[in-house]
Structure 1
Amino acid sequence: MAHRIITQVFVTGARVFGRAFAEAYRHASATQKYQAAMGTSGTGANTFTSSGLTLDEACKILNVGPPKGGEANMEQVMERFKRLYDLNDPKKGGSFYLQSKILRARERIELEVKEASEAKAREEELREGWKPKVYKDR
């Protein structure tokens, strides 16, 4: 009689575990397909896209125009950042969540400008050609 109860518990547990495993696999598969369709990776290589903050959202948060040709008015961005960041200080009754969104928005705009300037420098180097500095030993 006891062996029958133990067998039933084991079989029931195996079914529950199997169903949970199958559901987890379906969820992981759906997530992978969604990320492939959206063009993002789940590796966290680009923390800004993994956090879901786009350049357009960052510009709206700080109320600045998007960088044109990879160049933005960083003084205006920093001015708006400092003002909004101080207004949302939790010690003054603000929101830590909004403060973090404002910080991420500034970082996103800075990243965009940095990547554009690096790409511009690479293009300029390719156009001019690579000219290494040669040092002669005496």
Structure 2
Amino acid sequence: MAHRIIFQVAATGARVFGRAFAEAYKQASASQKYAASAASSGSTSAATFSSGGLTLDEACKILNVAPPKGGQANLEQVSERFKRLFDLNDPKKGGSFYLQSKILRARERIEAEVREAERVREREEELRAGWRPKVYKDR
């Protein structure tokens, strides 16, 4: 009698564990496919993951600024709009913490886009100028 109960508990546990493992595998596979498609479409991983899923267009609409053209953005205007909107939505003054966080993520997204474009521009400039590694000689 006891062996039957033990077998039922083990079988149920194995079934639950098997289903959980299969679901985790499906999610990991979908995540891997999504990351591969995002990488092939040219979106930057730093900008995608650090901004909480905000697109550049959404970030520009939140802060009411023009999107960066060619990696150039008026960061003074972005900073000014951020400070104003962030202060207006202060929870201590009756504002919304949710809106404050959206404003913060929007600023981070725009700055990440500008940083990434600057990094690419510097890399291309270095390639055009020619790469000259520093050689250290042992004496």
What TM-score range do you get, normalising by the shorter chain? 0.7 to 0.9
* Letter matched to residue 101 of structure 2: S
**Which structure is richer in relative contact order (CA contacts within 8 A, separation 6 or more)?**
2
SS in 1 for 2:95: coil
Shifted more, 104-113 versus 80-89: the winner is: 104-113
Residues 78-89 of structure 1 correspond to what in structure 2 (within 5 A)?
Answer: 78-89=79-90
1:107 and 2:111 equivalent?
no
Report the aligned-residue RMSD: 2.6
Larger Rg: 1
* Letter matched to residue 6 of structure 1: I
SS in 2 for 1:70: coil
Q: Which sections of structure 1, spanning at least 5 residues, go unmatched?
A: 133-138
Counterpart for residue 137 of structure 2: none
Q: 1:3 to 1:77 in 2, by over 3 A?
A: same
Structure 2 CA distance for aligned equivalents of residues 125 and 8 of structure 1? 67
Q: 1:98 to 1:11 in 2, by over 3 A?
A: same
Counterpart for residue 24 of structure 2: 24
Structure 1 vs Structure 2: percent identity of aligned residues? 76
Deviations 1:5-25 (A, max 9, x none): 222222222222222222222
Instruction: Give the TM-score taking structure 2 as reference length.
Output: 0.74
Q: 1:2 to 1:53 in 2, by over 3 A?
A: same
Residues 1-138 of structure 1 correspond to what in structure 2 (within 5 A)?
Answer: 1-39=1-39, 46=46, 48-50=47-49, 51-129=52-130
* Letter matched to residue 72 of structure 2: E
Q: Displacement of 1:130 after TM fit?
A: 6.1
Counterpart for residue 136 of structure 2: none
Structure 1 CA distance for aligned equivalents of residues 121 and 30 of structure 2? 38
Q: Which sections of structure 2, spanning at least 5 residues, go unmatched?
A: 134-139
Shifted more, 78-87 versus 119-128: the winner is: 119-128
Aligned length: 128
Q: 1:7 to 1:85 in 2, by over 3 A?
A: same
Q: Displacement of 1:3 after TM fit?
A: 1.6
SS in 2 for 1:39: helix
Q: Displacement of 1:128 after TM fit?
A: 4.4
